[in-house]
Amino acid sequence: MNSTPTESNAQARRTICLAILGPTASGKTQFAIDLALQLHGEIICVDSTTVYRGFDIGSSKPLADDRAKVPHHLIDILDPNEPFSAYHFVELALETIQDVSSRGKLPIIVGGTYFYFRALQQGMYKLPMIPSQTIEEIEREFFEDEQLLTHKMHAELKLHDNDAAKNIHPNDRYRLLRALAIIRTTGELPSQLKVVHEAEAQSNLLWMKYAMTLSRHALNENIVRRTESMIKKGLIDETRALVENYPKARALQSIGYAEAVQFLKLKLTEKQLRSEIIEKTRQLAKRQMTWLRSDAEVRFIDARDLPRVLLEVENLQFVLKGNSCAQ
């Protein structure tokens, strides 16, 4: 079926956004760098910790060499005591996407903070700070047998805000998480909040979403290796400096740093520190995979699929360019 002129004009104005998602330690960072080098792309990080200066080792922040090869955005943009939320991320990410695409480059969204990514796609209430740790706490509370128990989340929301519960499907994990986080953090009722309408820049994004996958055994091995590397590179010293300078930094509650804080308080031995980080990271990876499996638009890949992803992106770029030239 041929497109109408109006449809063609709208399609030509669309901005391709390539998303490389996946559980922690799945190899998405290197995959995205390889793509960026061949597709003239720039990386926009979807992470609630790497935005902070000084949170380097424990957040597995991209190395300086990699950042020299490919421009990385939304890294080291805040001091540790500054607030940052999904709403802040969406504002900054949209500005960055527009900037990158205006220079003829491909925006490549990379990260594992899937709640932030969904906020970028679906919008977010403008609210006081809702820390990512609150989202993670709610996920852990309702996570059982590798499933996020959304029906229990819906029942919890109904107790506090029945009007909001009526408008959210019991299987809509993103909106349920968002609503519960609003109530717990601010005391506000989601049903009484003013909705922030989707920006035109947001509605014009054309998403290509991929998620890196590994076997459970391979992912666990990567998590163990990364944990050992973090400790060896100086996670404890980095955490000690952050605690001394920014004792109330919310990012100190994130995995790796939270356990290192307990170690510094002499509540964990080094062996327990290692075990705690590994186990908490494994649990996080399971929750991340649950998020990804719930998104029908995500295509699962591994490192061998680089040529296929390159071809699919180039084909879509060709189609959009052809429509633009036909105007």
| Residues 287-292, mean pLDDT to the nearest whole number | 89
Check whether 64 has a pLDDT greater than 70: yes
Task: Give DSSP secondary structure letters for 186-201.
Answer: H---GGGSPPPPPPHH
Q: CB of 188 within 8 A of CB of 127?
A: yes
- What element of type H or E holds 42? strand 41-46
The pLDDT score that the predictor gives to residue 324 is 59
Q: Give residue-wise pLDDT tens across range 96-122.
A: 999 999 999 999 999 988 888 988 887
Which H, E and C letters describe 252-294, residue by residue? HHCCCHHHHHHHHCCCCCHHHHHHHHHHHHHHHHHHHHHHHHC
CB proximity list for 11: less than 8 A, separation 6 or greater = 3, 320, 323
Q: Give pLDDT, residue 6.
A: 46
CA distance 72 to 46: 11
Average confidence score pLDDT of the chain: 88
Q: What is the pTM of this model?
A: 0.82
pLDDT higher than threshold 80 for residue 193:
no
Write the pLDDT tens digit of every residue in 3-60: 444 444 444 468 899 999 999 999 999 999 999 999 999 999 999 899 999 999 999 9
Show the domains of the chain with their CATH numbers.
5-124+196-325 (3.40.50.300), 127-195 (1.10.20.140)
Give the Cα separation of 265 and 243 in Å (integer). Answer: 11
Give the 3-state secondary structure of residue 88. Answer: helix
Using an 8 Å Cβ cutoff, are 204 and 15 in contact? yes
